[in-house]
Structure 1
Amino acid sequence: MVMYRFGFFCSKSDNSLSTNRTINLNNLNYENVEKKVKQNAKELIELLEYSKTNNYPIFRLGNSFVPFISHKLFDMAWLDKLAPIFDETKERLKDFDTRITIHPGQYTVLNSPKENVIENSLRELEMFFWLFDRLGIDDNGTVLIHGRGAYGDKNSALEKLVETIEKEDWLKQRLALENDERVYTAKEILEVCQTTKIPMVFDIYHHSLNLSEFEPKDILKTWQKKRPKVHLSSKGDGKFGNHADFIEAKDFFELEKMFEEESKSIDIMVEAKKKELAIEKLRDEIK
């Protein structure tokens, strides 16, 4: 049986282990940050042990691994005081051959007409890049964002996105872009990635809701020497774009059909609400 490379994000499905323990902003002080970083680091290692045992070679770190790390109220001197936790975590990560990535949230926007929004977004990306470097995560550890808004003029917004990435050349070390379900199609994000020479994470569920035509192998080429990564989820109940608890096998087979033989060497992040349980169920169904 071919063992496809699956992984899940942030925590176990029952939240018994998580890398996303956080605090309220009004409780932001060193003691609270240290407590959460210790807990997140400890549970990260436990999650990686679990992933290793179950052959899940990809894991997405929670954005709150270091709570509010990019916030203006976060004291950068705290990072020096946290050094022992970072050092221990870096050493422990050497025990695992797990690809670690991160996916900043909706407020990380590189094409906003508001310059302060871009500045704050760059700050957040800078701190996630710093964290990955500090933990010794190799350059397969991508930091993924969406194209975000069209702001009434999609072409201009795309040009702004390219302009920001080209101006901030350091972004190319780890940044990747993903197509979304409402604004930017896979074809449009692919063109940005080809222009800026950064990787594209293809999301097949978003593609099903926001269709376009493209050559799948062109997406793989954007990864150059890095291992390609895609997202897999299925339609959930409720509002537009909701993810299901589990993966429908037909959605996996559609992804496999698109990328053919290359599917076996692509990292597949499962974005189902039941996380590791969804992977187990999918593996049973595609044997």
Structure 2
Amino acid sequence: MTIVRLGYVAMSMELTNASPSKTMTFAQFQKQEDREAAIRKLERIALENLENTFRLLKHNLFNDIHFYRFSSRLIPSATHDELAGWDYMKPLKGKLSELGNFIEEHQMRVDFHPDHFVVLNSPKKDVLINSVNNLKMHHLLLSGMKINPTHRCVLHVGGNYKDTAKSLERFVENWSEIPLPIQKMIMLENDDTSFTLEDTLYLCEKLEIPLVFDYHHHLAFHRNPNWENDWDRVVQTWKASSLPIKMHISSPKSEDKFRHHADTVDVDMFFTFLHEIKGSVPQIDCMIEAKQKDVALFTLVEQIKERKDVEMIDSSTFYLK
């Protein structure tokens, strides 16, 4: 049997006033007459985001949810060039330590999915530098929580720039400029417009990076529809990781908006995937990428409970028979 564990992304649709992504744009920052007061405001917003993250983790604990993706917008404008020298970690140390202790105590799996502007195969040096700086912030946050950063950040390959082969090779070239601690943090995901499962596997096998398989993305964009033929290769990219294999699950909003995420997950679509991989791994962690966030998870679990091919372990985890 395979253990399947469900998680969700960043926000709760059930908790009120619990956004972990409150912000102040740099344009708003510039309008403040007192720079130091403006920085203190940024720090207060970051602390509020971390406090709301703590509320979300407690919500997850109450609902037996062991897998959660942090918001990548916990610290507003943290890596902006004009704020270089701001030690944004200093006022957050106590709260980060508290979060880390809670996560360790309850054995939760947490990670990040940095924003789309983090592009490691960019031909522009400044974009690469800014991307690495953004990833360093993620590394600092994980380290501040005393969480091992290894395999905690999911990235897309990046831009296609109208030449897939050259864009893949540029990723390899740029990889040599990425600091080793950042390299170790990365997982790669196939996307729905530029890099197929096979493209992403090429990089993951060459550079020893775990591959996070996005089933919906594959259905939207592939050269070979039979992903099952490459599943063993996907599994092998995780052989050196201490974490269970991870995948993303979402459903199309509609036929004409196939790439857009629906509010919830189509349970039959999900189990089409699960029955193909059943028994190939002891455990798989499935990150739900649906508009209704935790409510999508709760809705999916209620549908799963009605099935005869599962045995529930708790409110977000089950055996696939």
Distance 2:54 2:280 in 1: 30
1:117-145 deviation line (CA, Å, top 9, x unaligned): 11111111111112111111224651111
Could you say which residue in structure 1 is the equivalent of 2:32?
A: none
Q: Give the secondary-structure state (helix, strand or coil) at the position aligned to 1:67.
A: coil
Residues 34-60 of structure 1: CA deviation (Å, up to 9, x unaligned) = 221221111111111111222211111
Q: Is the 8 A contact 1:99 1:140 kept in 2?
A: no
Q: Structure 1 residue 257 and structure 2 residue 275: aligned?
A: yes
What residue number does 1:35 align with?
44
Q: Following TM superposition, by how much is the alpha carbon of 1:3 offset from its aligned partner in structure 2, in angstroms?
A: 6.3
Give the TM-score, by structure 2 length: 0.83
> Aligned residues, how many?
287
Q: What is the CA deviation profile of residues 199-229 of structure 1, one whole-angstrom value per residue up to 9, with x for unaligned ones?
A: 1111000000112354112112212233211
Partner of 2:79: 70
Q: Secondary structure at the match of 2:115?
A: coil
Tell me the distance in 2 between the aligned counterparts of 1:250 and 1:82.
43
For 2:201 and 2:141, locate their aligned partners in 1 and report how far apart those are by CA, in whole Å.
27
CA contact (8 A) 1:99 1:141 kept: no
* Structure 1 residue aligned with 2:246: 229
Q: Secondary structure of 1:167's partner?
A: coil
Over residues 43-79 of structure 1, what are the superposed CA-to-partner deviations in whole Å (9 max), with x where a residue is unaligned? 1111111112222111111111111222212343232
Question: Could you tell which deviates more after superposition, 9-18 or 150-159?
Answer: 9-18
Match of 1:78, SS?
A: coil
Distance 1:205 1:31, change over 3 A: same
Farther-moved stretch of structure 1 (85-94 vs 48-57): 85-94
Deviation at 1:233, TM superposition (A): 0.2
Equivalent residue of 2:6, what SS? strand
**Please, which runs of 5 or more residues in structure 2 have no aligned partner?**
30-37, 306-321
CA 1:5–1:264 in 2, change beyond 3 Å: closer, same or farther? farther
Q: Does the residue aligned with 1:11 lie in a helix, a strand or coil?
A: coil
Alignment of 1:178-217 (within 5 A): 178-211=189-222, 212=224, 213=227, 214-217=229-232
Amino acid at match of 2:237: T
Shift of 1:152: 2.1
CA distance in 2, matches of 1:41, 1:255: 35
Superposed, 1:169-184 pairs within 5 Å as 169-170=179-180, 171-184=182-195
For residues 2 and 279 of structure 1, do their structure 2 counterparts lie closer, same or farther at Cα, with a shift above 3 Å needed? Answer: farther
C-alpha distance 263-15 of structure 1, shift in aligned 2 (>3 A): farther
Find the counterpart in structure 1 of residue 65 from structure 2: 56
SS at match of 1:267: strand
Q: Which shows bigger deviation, 76-85 or 272-281?
A: 76-85
Tell whether the 8 Å contact from 1:132 to 1:141 is kept in structure 2 after alignment. no
Partner of residue 141 from structure 2, selected from 131, 136, 143: 131
Match of 1:20? 21
**Alignment CA distance shift 1:30-1:112 (3 Å):** same
Q: Which has the higher contact order (CA 8 A, sep 6+)?
A: 2
Conservation of the 8 A alpha-carbon contact between 1:236 and 1:245: yes
Alignment partner, residue 106 of structure 1 = 116
Question: Is residue 233–residue 244 contact of structure 1 (8 Å, CA) maintained in 2?
Answer: yes
> Whole-Å Cα distance in 2 between the matches of residues 139 and 87 of structure 1?
15
Shift of 1:262: 4.2
Structure having the higher Rg = 2
Q: Does 1:270 align with 2:270?
A: no
RMSD over aligned CA atoms reads: 2.1
Query: Which of structure 1's runs of 4+ aligned residues deviate more than 6 A?
Result: none
